[in-house]
Structure 1
């Protein structure tokens, strides 16, 4: 089915005319493209005519998205929007931006990806407010008519806010621990103050009798003033709310939402779970948090952002830890270790995708968009740009939140003597900037991208910046080793238009393959990398056989070196290897290795009992990388009874040497020289001979 493209020059502020329309039609291979000057106003009829049918309609305007969506409410035509104004038309280089416009339009016309699984939340509005009495109680009184409010007063409370009628539960405590997510928070704390607010009737008897005025109308004892003479305990009497020697101090309860008014948030991760708000003391931030949490009552869904394939995971084997990359980079504590595998809580996952970016095996893959869908998008952008006559395209990956806002400001700034975006810089929005890594970057270079830039604002956590920077160092090392000139990868950290402008216009064109690749991005990460590396090597200016990769940067390829003097060929490393890079030989005592399969996870190194293994990050580009080569081999040791080979001579020598002085084995060393079958037979025969006859 064809697509109709409706483009507007926005009151002739973009250089779009009949010639431009003809060029765009040719680049997009369509005849159903029209250019208007006021599509959202006097020429709205053009849009209304377009949506009468069932063809897809791409509107090159996001400014009036709401208006066009409202006009199309009764239409069956699928409607898509793309911004070519701030992204291309509003720029000092707008006269050169037609190839970029064509690329953006072509990508917008792609079919929608298959829907991804979703994760559900259910919130009944059961809110816990944590903090000092003055702020916590003030907000509790305001919210009590909208939500089921509970208050947990922390130590160091102020008496300026009184506890009066019991309109909502009030607790007090310290050592607070929070786990869970929207609709399923669990909060644990300790009842540290002698007065238990859950039992207190607020009769004021304790306030009246305390000679030190250590009790105010928050009904908590200031232990710095209290002399512990227990007059308050006597006054409380049968109520029993005051106990200086309370033994049962542990408390816990479940809540749907949490408003944490602590000066220092109780949850320290950079991306806290859904339903948790920690605005601190800032009043504007508190109002914003309250507004958001009042809207979080009901049932909600979000995409399940990841796919996890346990068989590919290189985290652990036999309680030996190898790769911790996903756990270390996760800023939401959604990923944890359990035995030899990792667990991902989809409700805590915020969709940053950093775990998929740093995963060396592809066990973690991003689902929003899936790699194949994202690859098709990048290939479409770059191939259309080239078809329209564009040269040296740069892809600028940015978030749909802070990054998109900064790009809008950059485009709008062109009206005030700013420069806007360079004509060759194609913006690509992502759910999160850490969700793309070396596989799709290298594929994009193979497709013809001259530069890959990732824009990060103040919304990205430091873990993500470091992870992306590490991946860029590895990727740049590979391209430089292949002789491609220039700097291809750029991590841009900008919070202002001026900072972004300087970074983009300072980015120099880097060398690309002479021929653009035609492959499609694979579902598997390493499959995509194999395609990209093969193409880049085929057209490389330098036919390097191997490239040393930086250590400690998450290199996904490398060599395993064996100390043959220490290795006994016990094959522990073979059992630990998650990627079949290390193998034994069923017919001979050999340790074999396929380098292209190695993910440098370190499990073999951690498992080796002789410390005979060393990892060396590198990319081997010849066919040898795909061939099994022998790392170590030894003479076989044959059973002294049946002559069946069952171990290596070196292993047997080492074992006999270690056990010769052991009391349990010194008298039966010959039995150790037998295969398992002969050993059992020898034991039974010895037992039979020792029986009395």
Structure 2
């Protein structure tokens, strides 16, 4: 790969020799092109870019340009250069060294960070994944008052097939009918781009389909109850019915008409009402809500531009990968973990329709229900790809790794973070801090901070040790990669939150950071490794600037070299093992964790209540609980427990409580060992002496049935026998009442 660097009219303190020296030692990194420092690559030195583009095409190599300011110009220049490959065939890569490193009070010390950013930009792209396709024919429904709806429709009619649904009375329709017009109260609006199902009910006496807008009814109504929206204000109408008489030819007015229910499918929705149809933070794609207000015109203009382009087929990546076998949502019609459902800001995740009981009283389980690792009938979650926007929050909060962010996956993200940290350290950088931010509003704030540092002496810009990491969404990287980064030498991991993030994401990230910080503090690393930074817009730049200039936190003595795994639990285990071996203080036997979002823990079993019915074993989705075929025991492997709570909700005696913690005893081996949580003496058959149940279970059964008329005398005594002896006794005493349902 050839890399072109430019000091942007000598405003960046670039050191090509130092960059070459560092990158030459990094496996897979390329130093080609770094021997030339450009000053005006986007202007007078543009021919140098064109030569590089032609050379890359001839050699089959890729091209990396260290400038994002003129990205569009370079793409156009490449496509106009004879002999260069079109960007559609071979995209040009870009990396920002200006706002993220050079334009800072510490720009002269930012060479390690620049080398890290270049090395990461040279990594291969993420592997492609399956896509979801939207198909839109351009049928658009505009909902709102008549005048506003018609005005918006007029600006869309040349590109879209527009219909109107009037909401409320009081405004005027144009005299000429340009679009199909409906009126009524919406009873259902659901779906997504290309597939919105809209149902409404109209109880107004005037049928807008039949109305010719002759205005005879408006003129005839003595109360003025009919407006130019051609709807009757029933509160003002005195039932003179003059309007019915003058509308005899068209027959559009009928006060006796029953409410009419209608439903249609549309591809796009423009909603001009005050309250949106969808209450979630992120509405479905293809739905635009523009309420009345101070910025109505600006938001309407943006929505109209977007709507006009939404005709045709559109592909988006399938951002998630779901493995139902690992899901801890439910077993045996009991609900355990619902973290992904709770955090999803688009409501793309719901409980499997097979569930009932505590999940909402749905249809009963069929006879052939899939069986999960715990042995019980499974009932996971369902993800609607059309609603998913790829925030990745579900994968961040999932304790078992059943839900994974797929584009890019955790292994690719981990490789990127490891490359950044490793290159930074190899260049002599110390106390690296990763700043995770979104590619949208987060990137814009980082750029604005860089510009402010260039022009305003009171703003410092990104410190030399803070390495920005743009993500599709900040919620897509979670605890396992944060801790892996700390294990690989990072001093801190910061997450920049802007107005883009839903409240659910903020809470989920805060809970996950509380878990991570509790683990690090318990291992002796102290505080301050994981931080959430909030900055909504440019007005918060001074606060963002101050937040980034925090003191470094304690780092590991030796950075880990292992790679992050696709498996979330596997990555967590690798990171924690390294952090434990590198701990700066004596490691405790266990670290208590906050209850919210805990990924590890133990169980407490109330021996007085537990009858060892083993319902919990059948419910456990991660094989953390097991029985002993030889003895009445409840056994447990703490490493496997994901703290989903299914065992506690399944237990009929309510004898189980969760104990969030990380067990570190015996250098972590105690977590992997099988231990007995509860054990009771077996009950011996009163006839042959063979054990067939637990003492407590049989005693409870006898005590509960002793007063029943069917269990008297020999019948009660049979409850104390094993199955074989019970059958023999029943046939040996034919005159006794037989208990067959045992």
| TM-score interval, normalised by the smaller of the two chains | over 0.9
2:108 is matched with which residue?
Answer: 95
Contact 1:176 1:266 in 2 (8 A): no
Q: Give the distance between the partners of 1:218 and 1:679, measured in 2 at CA.
A: 83
Alignment match of 2:658 (pick from 611, 615, 620):
615
Matching of residue 213 in structure 1 with residue 227 in structure 2: no
Query: 1:363, CA displacement in angstroms?
Result: 0.8
Contact 2:181 2:209 in 1 (8 A): yes
Gapped regions of structure 2 (runs ≥ 5)? 356-378
Distance change (3 Å), C-alpha of 1:276 and 1:649: same
Of 74-83 and 213-222, the range deviating more from structure 2: 74-83
Contact 1:212 1:226 in 2 (8 A): yes
Contact 1:259 1:277 in 2 (8 A): yes
Superposed CA deviations along residues 649-679 of structure 1, whole A, max 9, x for unmatched, are: 2111112212222345457334444455665
Distance change (3 Å), C-alpha of 1:243 and 1:584: farther
**1:286-685 correspondence runs (5 A):** 286-338=300-352, 339=355, 340-417=379-456, 418-494=459-535, 495-496=537-538, 497-505=541-549, 507-542=550-585, 543-551=587-595, 553-622=596-665, 623-639=669-685, 644-666=690-712, 668-676=715-723
Alignment match of 1:60 (pick from 66, 71, 82):
66
Contact 1:54 1:78 in 2 (8 A): no
Query: 1:317, CA displacement in angstroms?
Result: 1.4
Distance change (3 Å), C-alpha of 1:274 and 1:679: farther
Matching of residue 202 in structure 1 with residue 213 in structure 2: yes
Superposed CA deviations along residues 139-191 of structure 1, whole A, max 9, x for unmatched, are: 12332232111111112x223x2253433221111244211100001112222
| SS in structure 2 at match of 1:314 | coil
Query: 1:49, CA displacement in angstroms?
Result: 3.4
Query: 1:489, CA displacement in angstroms?
Result: 1.0
Query: 1:237, CA displacement in angstroms?
Result: 4.6
Distance change (3 Å), C-alpha of 1:681 and 1:117: farther
Distance change (3 Å), C-alpha of 1:687 and 1:406: farther
Alignment match of 2:39 (pick from 37, 40, 47):
37
Query: 1:625, CA displacement in angstroms?
Result: 1.0
2:12 is matched with which residue?
Answer: 14
2:359 is matched with which residue?
Answer: none
| SS in structure 2 at match of 1:220 | coil
Of 171-180 and 260-269, the range deviating more from structure 2: 171-180
| SS in structure 2 at match of 1:166 | coil
Contact 1:396 1:426 in 2 (8 A): yes
| SS in structure 2 at match of 1:180 | strand
Distance change (3 Å), C-alpha of 1:108 and 1:686: farther
| SS in structure 1 at match of 2:483 | helix
Report the RMSD for the aligned CA atoms in angstroms. 2.2
Query: 1:202, CA displacement in angstroms?
Result: 3.4
Superposed CA deviations along residues 356-394 of structure 1, whole A, max 9, x for unmatched, are: 111111111101210000000000000000000000000
Contact 1:24 1:98 in 2 (8 A): no
Distance change (3 Å), C-alpha of 1:665 and 1:115: farther
Q: Give the distance between the partners of 2:316 and 2:643, measured in 1 at CA.
A: 34
Contact 1:178 1:188 in 2 (8 A): yes
Contact 2:23 2:30 in 1 (8 A): yes
Superposed CA deviations along residues 564-616 of structure 1, whole A, max 9, x for unmatched, are: 01000001111111111111111111101111111111111111100101111
1:266 is matched with which residue?
Answer: 277
Matching of residue 105 in structure 1 with residue 107 in structure 2: no
1:75 is matched with which residue?
Answer: 84
Distance change (3 Å), C-alpha of 1:17 and 1:331: closer
Contact 1:27 1:388 in 2 (8 A): no
2:198 is matched with which residue?
Answer: 187
Query: 1:535, CA displacement in angstroms?
Result: 0.3
Query: 1:55, CA displacement in angstroms?
Result: 1.9
Of 60-69 and 466-475, the range deviating more from structure 2: 60-69
| SS in structure 2 at match of 1:114 | coil
**1:133-152 correspondence runs (5 A):** 133-152=146-165
**1:101-180 correspondence runs (5 A):** 101-155=114-168, 157-159=169-171, 161-180=172-191
| SS in structure 2 at match of 1:476 | helix
| SS in structure 2 at match of 1:346 | coil
Query: 1:627, CA displacement in angstroms?
Result: 0.8
Q: Give the distance between the partners of 2:590 and 2:14, measured in 1 at CA.
A: 49
Contact 2:181 2:208 in 1 (8 A): yes
Q: Give the distance between the partners of 1:56 and 1:635, measured in 2 at CA.
A: 71
Q: Give the distance between the partners of 2:417 and 2:131, measured in 1 at CA.
A: 25
| SS in structure 2 at match of 1:616 | strand
Distance change (3 Å), C-alpha of 1:665 and 1:81: farther
Distance change (3 Å), C-alpha of 1:214 and 1:515: same
Q: Give the distance between the partners of 1:641 and 1:246, measured in 2 at CA.
A: 80
Q: Give the distance between the partners of 1:670 and 1:238, measured in 2 at CA.
A: 90
Superposed CA deviations along residues 407-448 of structure 1, whole A, max 9, x for unmatched, are: 111111122123221100000000111111101000000011
Distance change (3 Å), C-alpha of 1:92 and 1:593: same
Distance change (3 Å), C-alpha of 1:682 and 1:116: farther
Q: Give the distance between the partners of 1:420 and 1:377, measured in 2 at CA.
A: 23
| SS in structure 2 at match of 1:42 | coil
Q: Give the distance between the partners of 2:731 and 2:268, measured in 1 at CA.
A: 68
Q: What number of residue pairs does the alignment pair up?
A: 685
| SS in structure 2 at match of 1:532 | helix
Contact 2:203 2:259 in 1 (8 A): no
Q: Give the distance between the partners of 2:250 and 2:710, measured in 1 at CA.
A: 69
Q: Give the distance between the partners of 1:360 and 1:678, measured in 2 at CA.
A: 47
Q: Give the distance between the partners of 1:411 and 1:663, measured in 2 at CA.
A: 85
Contact 1:486 1:509 in 2 (8 A): no
Contact 2:203 2:258 in 1 (8 A): no
